[in-house]
Amino acid sequence: MASSETSANNAAAVKDPASPQLSAEWVKTAAESIGISGSSVDETGCFKYVADDVTFRVKSLIQDAVKMALHCKRTKLTTQDIDYTLKMNNYEPLYGFTSADYIPFRNASGGGRQLHFLDDKELDLDEISAKPLPKIPLQTSLKAHWLAIEGVQPAIPENPPPVAKDLQKLESINPVVKSTGEKLGKPVDPKSVKGKRILKDVKLKPHTEHDLSVEQQLYYKEVTEACVGTDEVRRPEALTSLAQDPGLHKMLPRLSTFIYEGVKVNCVNSNLAILIYLMRMTKSLLENSSLYLEKYLHELLPSVITCIVSRQLCLKPESDNHWALRDFASKILGQMCKKFSSNTNDIQTRVVKILSEGLHDPSATLFTHYGCIMALGELGPGVVQSFIIPIVRSEGDRLRSILDTQPVNPIDKVSCNQIKAAFIKSLAPALRVLRRPPDRLDAYRQEFGYLGAYIHEAVVHLRNQTAGGSSSGVVAGTSLLQQYTSASNSAPGGARVMSSNLVSQLCGCLKLHRVCGMLV
């Protein structure tokens, strides 16, 4: 089919008899020049087909080259236009033949044929050898001169000329003058602009460099070393400075890049401690009311989401507490979405899309599922209702199937317990707001399946929780968590049994679902 279309195009291209064509004799001459010859009966038809095809392709290349010249606002076709056209159409470029000027070809005829060739002049070797040799260049040498004498720069040719005071004043008022290289009082040489095309309709924003002073560079070095270093005394001071100092706006691009690159490197190296320190830096910057972080969310948001959904954040996931980092990063992500999301940028919509894709990915690990659940739970009851509630039943069946496997993997066992706690933490406060009492156990079991009983107990206890009892829940949270973990690990069938009394006491510690940060 492709050959028929090519033939049709070629026929249309050569249909006009007035247009120039490559003859079959030319193709035959070119074939014989490279040693191809034949005595087939259909030889003339083959040469004619090749000539038509070459004519079509040459015309197409010339037309595209003319378009290149027109787009460049030129009326003269250059060799660069031909080279760019060959590259655009995936043709092999010309090798070993470049020239900026017109190359004259000479025409030679004889024997009924016409040939075009380059006129190469003959060189006389005697004349070349008789020419005098060029002068030997000067030997490389060093010359010393004074840069400054007692703080004053001497006026010698080796030193740059002093800057006028009016230019210094203008540069202090408008820094763009320095970046564009404008000079006051300097006359314009007409010869320098002769022959150059002046475009008045093009306006480019100048590129200005944001240089840090020596003090700012020292502060940046000290604060980054203190935040990710081993000195526990300096770290709180550095984080407090990041959260309260009002003069960090010039260092904000470098701090965000430091966090972005640090998360990227330490996530690959599974360095859990450094990742936690970097998230603490991010939280301190968020708490600084004098900083405008929206311009740097393209580096901060990926860093936070990476700490939430990464497959592996530490070298020993069965013992290292990477759950705390995922919880902490989820809270930071919730703060960033609430603070910066708007109808214009749709930050929360895009973040929810990323998290829901990770939650529905069958190849994702249990660590990733836990991080997605915690992060979606921090984005409000509406997100929980739309993205977490529909998958609770399927996730519960998956957890039960993993725990029913004998022998159960210790890492999977811990992960399943953490995911169950994450569902309770995210769903209980949201369901208390979204649904009206009474809460029936059979309805929860029918809707949520394996996790229905746990969620029902948590919601009921939150409804009955009094304001006075909520304060004691914080204190008892750690001990009850230890009881829950020991009871789950010692229960037959892999942590499937949990007393209702312990659930009731645990749910008391989940009041306002911020207290559940101790689940890590």
Has residue 313 got a pLDDT over 70? yes
- Best mean pLDDT range from 347-351, 478-482, 507-511: 347-351
- For residue 107, list its beta bridge partners: 116
Higher model confidence: residue 89 or residue 20? Answer: 89
Give the pLDDT of residue 143: 86
**Assigned domain for 92 exists:** yes
- For residue 105, list its beta bridge partners: 118
What percent of the chain lies above the pLDDT cut of 90? 28
State whether 335 and 431 are in the same domain: no
Quick one: tokens of 26? 């030319």
Which whole number is the average pLDDT over 239-257?
Answer: 91
Considering the entire predicted model, what is its pTM?
A: 0.53
Give the pLDDT of residue 463: 84
Among 95, 36, 93, 89, smallest CA distance to 59 is for 89
CA dihedral for 49, 51, 55, 58, sign (positive or negative): positive
Give the residue from 85, 104, 123 where a domain finishes: 104
Give the pLDDT of residue 197: 54
**Assigned domain for 170 exists:** no
CA–CA–CA angle 137, 142, 148 (5° rounding): 140
Higher model confidence: residue 483 or residue 309? Answer: 309
Radius of gyration of the chain measured on its C-alpha atoms:
38
35-44, 229-238, 294-303, 322-331: least confidently modelled range: 35-44
Spatial distance between the Cα atoms of 153 and 127, rounded to a whole number of angstroms: 54
State whether 426 and 308 are in the same domain: no
Q: What average pLDDT does the chain have?
A: 78
Give the pLDDT of residue 492: 37
What percent of the chain lies above the pLDDT cut of 70? 73
- For residue 245, list its beta bridge partners: none
Q: Where are the alpha helices (DSSP H) in 140-213?
A: 165-173, 176-180, 190-193
Q: What DSSP line would sit under 208-256, residue for residue?
A: ---PPPHHHHHHHHHHHHHHHSS-TTHHHHHHHHHHH-S--TTTHHHHH
Higher model confidence: residue 309 or residue 212? Answer: 309
Cis, bond preceding 407 (omega within 30 deg of 0): yes
State whether 476 and 447 are in the same domain: yes
CA end-to-end span of the chain, whole Å?
A: 65
Give the structural domain span for 419. 385-520
**Assigned domain for 291 exists:** yes
State whether 232 and 354 are in the same domain: yes
Q: Please tell me the number of Cα atoms within 13 Å of 236 on its side-chain side.
A: 2
| CATH label of the domain that carries residue 31 | 1.10.20.10
Confidence label for 66 from pLDDT (cuts 50, 70 and 90):
very high
Which whole number is the average pLDDT over 17-41?
Answer: 74
- Best mean pLDDT range from 18-27, 53-62, 448-457: 53-62
Quick one: tokens of 421? 């706690």
Buried residues in 63-89 as b, exposed as e (16+ CB within 10 A): ebbeebbeeeeeeeeebebbbbbbeee
Which whole number is the average pLDDT over 176-198?
Answer: 51
State whether 354 and 298 are in the same domain: yes
Spatial distance between the Cα atoms of 107 and 116, rounded to a whole number of angstroms: 5
Contacting residues for 237 by C-beta, under 8 A, at least 6 apart: 226
State whether 247 and 369 are in the same domain: yes
Has residue 46 got a pLDDT over 90? no
Confidence label for 202 from pLDDT (cuts 50, 70 and 90):
low
Using one digit for the tens of pLDDT, what is the confidence trace for 470-502? 444 433 443 434 444 444 444 433 333 344 443
- DSSP class of residue 158? T
**Assigned domain for 129 exists:** no
Among 387, 388, 367, smallest CA distance to 324 is for 367
Give the pLDDT of residue 352: 94
**Assigned domain for 175 exists:** no
Confidence label for 180 from pLDDT (cuts 50, 70 and 90):
low
Has residue 165 got a pLDDT over 70? no
Which whole number is the average pLDDT over 257-277?
Answer: 93
Is the Cβ–Cβ distance between 277 and 236 less than 8 Å? no
Has residue 366 got a pLDDT over 60? yes
Spatial distance between the Cα atoms of 464 and 277, rounded to a whole number of angstroms: 38
State whether 92 and 22 are in the same domain: yes
Contacting residues for 27 by C-beta, under 8 A, at least 6 apart: 47, 50, 51, 54
Residue 337: its H or E element: helix 322-340
123-127, 192-196, 309-313, 400-404: least confidently modelled range: 192-196
Give the residue from 379, 404, 422 where a domain finishes: 379
State whether 463 and 492 are in the same domain: yes
CA dihedral for 42, 45, 49, 54, sign (positive or negative): positive
Give the pLDDT of residue 367: 92
Which whole number is the average pLDDT over 373-391?
Answer: 91
**Assigned domain for 219 exists:** yes
Higher model confidence: residue 190 or residue 221? Answer: 221
Using one digit for the tens of pLDDT, what is the confidence trace for 81-124? 998 999 999 988 877 666 666 677 777 777 666 776 777 778 88
Higher model confidence: residue 35 or residue 484? Answer: 35
45-54, 84-93, 95-104, 126-135: least confidently modelled range: 95-104
Quick one: tokens of 244? 């309260």
Is the Cβ–Cβ distance between 422 and 324 less than 8 Å? no
**Assigned domain for 186 exists:** no
Give the residue from 379, 410, 428 where a domain finishes: 379
**Assigned domain for 487 exists:** yes
Q: Which amino acid belongs to residue 422?
A: A
State whether 492 and 361 are in the same domain: no
Quick one: tokens of 20? 């120039």
| CATH label of the domain that carries residue 339 | 1.25.40.770
State whether 405 and 475 are in the same domain: yes
Confidence label for 69 from pLDDT (cuts 50, 70 and 90):
very high
141-145, 157-161, 249-253, 444-448: least confidently modelled range: 157-161
State whether 345 and 459 are in the same domain: no
CA dihedral for 6, 8, 12, 15, sign (positive or negative): positive
The 3-state DSSP class for residue 361 equals: coil
Domain count, the chain: 3
19-23, 49-53, 262-266, 463-467: least confidently modelled range: 463-467
Quick one: tokens of 446? 């029918």
Has residue 23 got a pLDDT over 70? yes
Has residue 297 got a pLDDT over 90? yes
State whether 24 and 47 are in the same domain: yes
